[in-house]
Amino acid sequence: MKKEKKTNDCKWSKVDPVFRKWNVGCNLEEFTKDKINIEAFKDLNPVEIYEKFLDDSTIKYIVEQTLLYAVQNNRHDFTVNEEEIRTFIAILFLSGYHQLPQERMYWCNEEDLGLEIVSKAMPRNKYDQIKQNIHFVDNSKIDTTDKMFKLRPLMNILNEKFKQWGIFHTYLSIDEAMVRYFGRHSAKQFIRGKPTRFGYKNWVLASFDGYCYHFDTYCGKNKMENVSVSLGSNVVLNLLENIENPSNHAVFFDNYFSTLHLMSTLTNRGFRATATIRKNRISKCPLKSSKILSKQPRGNFDFQFDTSHDLLVVRWVDNNVVNMITNYDTIQPLHKVKRWSRKDKKVTEVSQPQLFNTYNKRMGGVDLSDLSVNTYRISIRGKKWWWVLFTYMLDLSLTNAWKLYQLSSGKKITQLEFTRYIVRHYLFRANKTQRRQSSLPLGVQFDNLGHFPQRIDNPLRCRVCHSRIRWICKKCKHTLCVEKNCFELYHTP
């Protein structure tokens, strides 16, 4: 990690913390003003909530860029509209909870494989064409300095949608989220010891209950970053630029990001913050050594308060010795937490300082968001390097919509029920659009007047033999084979 400007003027003292910037122990809920207007969403159904994120303007933008990309690649016969893009996305969502070994099996005629709801909503060839051409940026205006240029416009749109109502949670967490990817790309990361070792790394700002406000994919060294601070500090400061009223929120992050200089900067900018911190970043803090504390019973702790920058550092003995730093929280009151004792072979109670208790309750927001995204993650794969990030953004928008729906409606709907509601809505709606006239006035089918074959662009199922063909009866509007004589058989009494 890049060396950061050191905070050498710390004045450590073992005194009760006095935070001059705000009152000790004050309840954040009392002065939080950025609460979302719940009444505006109370009567909306899941689809209406979901379309707050992927709205008509966003879908229209995707259609425009997709058509432009098709033209740039000399596929002038390709057409697509907003409804077909929504149907395409719904099929992707369906693959998250209804997985098949091969993508094309969703359109299979076999009883144990195919899904009629998919085949009726969109022809397979149309789906393949959309997947081949879907795009989000004009390739003639490539920003060579941005490794995520293919997705940057869509990222910016979704980030704006996620926080269009402001930051309406008090407690926020910052962490990394990995998106699994095994292909080749200069932004791909390898992190040893993580559940997802290979893939793209996203920096995420989320609420404590898992609503994502902002995400950004790490692409390596950025010339625009502040070179005087570490990568972790830059990430935290950049993500917190999205917050208009810092005093209304408390931020939590882990020891990858935290430094004394960062905590002091956050205090000056009006942010309450608590984080774990590595012992080599507080080497001059006169705490009892980890070696000495580790020999003491669990629940023991030592602390020091920096009177210059109003920073409290606590070293606490749990299963391991843990260091934590805060610019607003306290040690008292001590909480009792349950731990398994190997020595006594039973569950015992251990004393835990207040700031550790708060951190454990409020830190896991990014992990909750990541868990929700991966629970019914889109399983359809793509060959392009940006495909996994595109599907990640779709899953993230759906997860945010689900959490917003629960918050606004007060209903305990499961994530699966919410996802199925969205998928069924769009696929059934597309089915009605695709469906041809099912019934004719009495006698029209066999009147032998004006029944001529007409060629269509998208292949459909023949009414007689069920083959995929491009011919319909001009009068009946039913799909009928010309080569196999189905056209004649259908019109013969």
Average pLDDT over residues 336-360: 92
Torsion over CA of 137, 142, 146 and 149, rounded to 10 degrees? 10
For residues 438 and 430, what is the distance between their CA atoms, to the nearest angstrom?
16
pLDDT exceeds 80 at position 439: no
The pLDDT of residue 367: 95
The pLDDT > 70 percentage for the chain reads 91
Under a CB-based contact definition with an 8 Å cutoff, are residues 395 and 97 in contact? no
19-54 per-position pLDDT tens digit:
888 765 455 654 443 455 666 777 889 999 999 999
For residues 236 and 349, what is the distance between their CA atoms, to the nearest angstrom?
35
**Complete DSSP assignment for 361-415:** HHTTHHHHHHHHHHHT------SSTTHHHHHHHHHHHHHHHHHHHHHHH-----H
How many other C-beta atoms lie within 10 A of the C-beta of residue 356?
A: 24
For residues 291 and 159, what is the distance between their CA atoms, to the nearest angstrom?
45
Angle formed at CA 374 by CA 363 and CA 100, multiple of 5 degrees? 170
Top pLDDT among 315 and 409 is at: 315
The pLDDT of residue 437: 41
Query: Domains of the chain: which residue ranges?
Result: 1-22+284-359, 46-144+368-432, 438-493
Top pLDDT among 6 and 142 is at: 142
pLDDT exceeds 60 at position 3: no
Q: Minimal CA–CA distance to 33: which of 162, 164, 169? A: 169
290-303 per-position pLDDT tens digit:
999 999 999 999 99
Reported as a pLDDT band with limits 50, 70 and 90, residue 482 is: confident
103-126 per-position pLDDT tens digit:
999 999 888 888 999 999 999 999
The pLDDT > 90 percentage for the chain reads 66
pLDDT exceeds 90 at position 479: no
The pLDDT of residue 52: 94
The pLDDT of residue 484: 80
Paired strand residues for 448: none
Average pLDDT over residues 237-254: 93
Q: Are strands 272-276 and 198-207 parallel, antiparallel or unpaired?
A: unpaired
The pLDDT of residue 223: 60
The pLDDT of residue 30: 43
Under a CB-based contact definition with an 8 Å cutoff, are residues 362 and 273 in contact? no
Task: Quote the pTM value.
Answer: 0.84
154-185 per-position pLDDT tens digit:
999 999 999 998 888 999 999 999 999 999 99
Reported as a pLDDT band with limits 50, 70 and 90, residue 315 is: very high
Q: Minimal CA–CA distance to 126: which of 78, 163, 69, 184? A: 78
Query: What's the mean per-residue pLDDT of the chain?
Result: 89
